[in-house]
Amino acid sequence: MRYKSWHIFQLREIGLALTFIGGFIDAYTFVQRGGVLAAGQTGNLIFLSVNIAQQNLPGAMTKLATVIAFMLGVVTVRVFEYHIKPRSHYWRSLTLVAELIVCLAVSMMPKSIPNYAITPPLAFVMAMQTTAFSYIAGHGYNNVFSTGNLKKATSAITSYGLTRDKKELETAVVYFELVLSFALGAIASALLQKIMFTTTIIVAAILVILVGSYYTYLLYLRERYLDEQ
């Protein structure tokens, strides 16, 4: 029974689904919103530096606003964790509700809306997602970009090759699944954008509804189970 897991937020299917969404949204903002990454702040800092060097003020402001919004998203989750977590097991669900609202709002905005009004809100909720859901099957991971996951996958598979420790192999499989999930999300987004253009983000909203509903339902079942014990 999946709901009997004490750490439901770490369930493998939830982590992989959120990572798919992370890749989906990053590809969306990169293609549709001026080459900005909603979650990949390393890339945005590079783009910001280039924009400053090229004296591209509008581009620099968009990247800077996106980086700041990401930071604020992390702060918001920590505040949730401090104030809401002691009173409710559903505090992580609030981050997905916020993500759903932003995705729905962005889906209704035309291409003419400036990028600085689109990417920062998405960066904010991407930061909330990755901060609230930061573990998968007991392993720390990131569900909105893949550099760390790829490094950990490579490190684990190398350790397995050297030691034949099956735990290292299991760890490598988890991280390679995450990298693949992120890539598949980005591919799906890029393909759908050829048809749906800026409204492609509505698909991310649907996925957030599915993941959030599944997670919240499992929390509800676990509470009922514990009450019956």
Q: What is the pLDDT of residue 5?
A: 79
69 has pLDDT over 80 = yes
Find the mean pLDDT for residues 58-81.
Answer: 96
Q: Which two tokens stand for residue 83?
A: 């104030």
- pLDDT number for residue 46: 94
Tens-digit pLDDT profile for residues 4-59:
877 999 999 999 999 999 999 999 999 999 889 998 898 999 999 999 999 999 88
Tokens at residue 143, please? 């569900």
DSSP structure string for 150-216: HHHHHHHHHHHHHH--HHHHHHHHHHHHHHHHHHHHHHHHHHHHHHHGGGGHHHHHHHHHHHHHHHH
| Single pTM value for the model | 0.96
139-159 per-position pLDDT tens digit: 999 999 999 999 999 999 999
Q: Find out whether 143 and 38 touch, Cβ atoms under 8 Å.
A: no
Mean pLDDT (whole number) for 62-88: 96
Q: How far is Cα 26 from Cα 61, in angstroms, rounded to an integer?
A: 18
Please state, in angstroms and rounded to a whole number, the distance separating the CA atoms of residues 54 and 61: 13
47 contacts: CB under 8 Å, gap ≥ 6: 35, 36, 59, 63
Distinct helix (H) and strand (E) counts, the chain: 8, 2
| 64, pLDDT greater than 90 | yes
118 phi and psi angles, rounded to 5 deg: -110, -55
Amino acid letter, 46: I
Instruction: Give the Cβ contact number of residue 91 at 10 Å.
Output: 17
Q: Where exactly are the structural domains of the chain? A: 2-220
pLDDT computed for residue 85 by the predictor: 92
pLDDT given for residue 40 in this prediction? 86
CATH code of the region 2-220:
1.20.1250
